[in-house]
Amino acid sequence: MKETAIQTEKSSFPLIYEVMVWVLYTALYKYAYYLGMFNAPRTYDNFPHIQIMLYALAMTLYVIPFYRWLAPALLNKKKYGWFIVLTMLWFLFIPKIGNVCVSYIFMNSNGPGYYKTFYIGWHKLHKIHVVQLLRGWDFQVLLTDLIAFTSVAITRYAFDNERKKRLLEKDVFRLQLDALNAQLNPHFLFNTLNSIYGMSLTGSKDTPQYVLRLAEMMRYTLYDCRQDKVDLEKDLAFTENYVAIEKKRYPLSDISFTVSNSNTGVLIAPLLVTPFIENSFKHGAHRLNDRGFIHAHLTVDENKLHFVVENDIMIAAAPAADSGGVGLENVKRRLQMYYPEKHHLEIANNGTTFKVDLTILLK
C-alpha cells in the first residue's frame, strides 16, 4: 500500500557519519598520533606506513560494541543515568584490555625491525597500565575516542528514534483514515437506502436497477476504498450512481452532475467530492418544491482537479447546511490528511444558496 503523507525511509546519514568518523578521526588523526611516536630513523622510509594506520584502527575496535549495542540498548530504554555511568566505565577500563591484546597481536605478527620494536614498547606500556587499575590512561587518545564515538552513538539513536516516531505517526495516520472511511461509508449507505426505500414505496419498476447501482457502490466502498488512491473513473462512477438514485427520487427538480476533461489514469483519494453532493441533497430546496436545483461540475487534468457544486437550500435548514454535519466535517479532515497544503476549499452559504468550490493539486 502506498504511503500518503509520511515518509519512513531509513536515513543513510548515521552510516555516512560513522564512516566519516572512522576515516577522518581514526585513520587520519589517530594514525598521525601513533606515527608521531614511531621513532624510526630518517633513512627508514615506508610512508604512509600502512601498518601504523592498521594499528590505529585495531586499537579503536573496542568502541564498536559500545556504540552499536550497549549505547542503543540503554538509550532506547531511556536509562540515561546508566548510559553516562557505563560510558565512563567502558572508556576507562575496556581500552586497557583491548590495547594489551592488539599490541600483543601486532608484536607477534612482525619480524625483527623498527615495527616490532615499536609494538614491543607499546605492549610493555599497556601491560603496566592494566595492573594500574586507577591510573595509566592516555587521555589524549581516550578523550577523543569518547567524544568521537559517543557522538556516533547519539546520532544513530536520534535518527533511529525519529524513524520510529515517523512509523508510529504513519500507523496513527492510517488508523485515522480507516476510522474516517468507516464513519463515511455507513453515512452514505443510510441515505441511499432511504432513497431506494422511497422508490419502492411508489412501486417503481426501476427499483431493481437502482438496487444494482447500490450494490456497485457498496462493492466500491468495501474493496477499492481500502487503498490510499483510487482510479478517478471508479470514484466518478460511484458519484454518478449516487446522483442517479437521487434524481430518480426527484425527477422534476433541476439536478445535474457533469464531468469534463476526465483523463484516464488519474489517481485520487476516494470519496472526496461525493459528500459535498450528498450534503446538497440532504439540505436542498428540491425536497420541498420542484423548482429546487443542484448543479455539480468537475474538471480534471493531470495536475489539478476543480469541483463546484451549488444548490438552493431550505431556509429552515440553513444552519445545518452551514455546518454540513458528519459528511462535510469528515471530508475536510480527509483533505487535510491526503492533500496537506495542496488543496483549496471554499464553502459559502448566503442564506438561500449553498456553494462548494474545491481545487486539488494532484501532483
Tens digits of residue pLDDT in 120-150: 999 999 999 988 877 888 898 999 999 999 9
Query: What total number of domains does the chain contain?
Result: 2
Same domain, 262 and 156: no
**β-strand pairing of 254-260 with 293-300:** parallel
190 lies in some domain: no
Same domain, 157 and 209: no
296 occurs within a structural domain? yes
CATH number at residue 228: 3.30.565.10
Instruction: Say if residues 126 and 96 touch (Cβ distance below 8 Å).
Output: yes
| Residue 178: inside a domain | no
Please report which residue ranges of the chain form alpha helices under DSSP H. Answer: 13-20, 31-35, 50-58, 63-65, 71-76, 80-108, 114-131, 139-201, 207-222, 232-249, 274-283, 318-323, 325-338
Q: What is the pLDDT of residues 20-73, one digit of tens each?
A: 999 999 999 999 999 888 876 665 667 788 999 999 999 999 999 999 999 999
Residues 87-101: tens digit of each pLDDT: 999 999 999 999 999
- Torsion sign over Cα 110, 116, 120, 123: negative
Q: What average pLDDT score do residues 318-342 get?
A: 71
- Report the C-alpha gap between 72 and 79 in whole angstroms: 10
Contact indicator for 196, 242 with CB cutoff of 8 Å: no
Give bridge partners of residue 295 from the DSSP assignment: 256, 310
Decide if 218 contacts 196 (C-beta within 8 A).
no
Quote the domain boundaries for residue 310: 204-361
* Percent of residues, the chain, with pLDDT higher than 90: 45
What residue has cell string 601491560? 127
Asked whether residue 1 carries a pLDDT value surpassing 50, the answer given is no
Q: Cα separation of 151 and 9, whole Å?
A: 22
Q: Give the mean pLDDT of 262-271.
A: 79
* pLDDT tens-digit readout, 272-284: 898 899 888 888 8
What per-residue confidence (pLDDT) applies to 4?
Answer: 39
Q: In terms of domains, do 124 and 230 share one? A: no
Query: Within its chain, how far is the Cα of 191 from the centroid?
Result: 35
Q: Is residue 171 part of a domain?
A: no
Which residue from 237, 233, 262, 250 is spatially nearest to 288, judged by alpha carbons? 250
**Looking at the domain assignment, is residue 4 inside a domain?**
no
pLDDT at 299: 93
Please check whether residues 224 and 334 belong to one and the same domain. Answer: yes
pLDDT mean over 235-239: 91
- Looking at the fold, whether 214 and 69 belong to one and the same domain comes out as no
Rounded Cα gap, residues 62 and 79, in angstroms: 22
What distance in Å separates the CA atoms of residue 36 and residue 256, rounded to the nearest whole number?
A: 87
**pLDDT(201) > 70:** yes
Q: Are the C-beta atoms of residues 323 and 281 closer than 8 Å to each other? A: no
Q: How many other C-beta atoms lie within 10 A of the C-beta of residue 335?
A: 18
Q: What is the pTM of this model?
A: 0.55
pLDDT of residue 159: 92
DSSP 317: G
For residues 266 and 142, membership in a common domain is answered with: no
Residue 2 domain flag = no
Q: Both 149 and 229 in a single domain?
A: no
Instruction: Say whether both 148 and 25 belong to one domain.
Output: yes
Considering the domain boundaries, does residue 337 fall inside one? yes
Torsion, CA 217, CA 222, CA 224, CA 228, rounded to 10 = 120
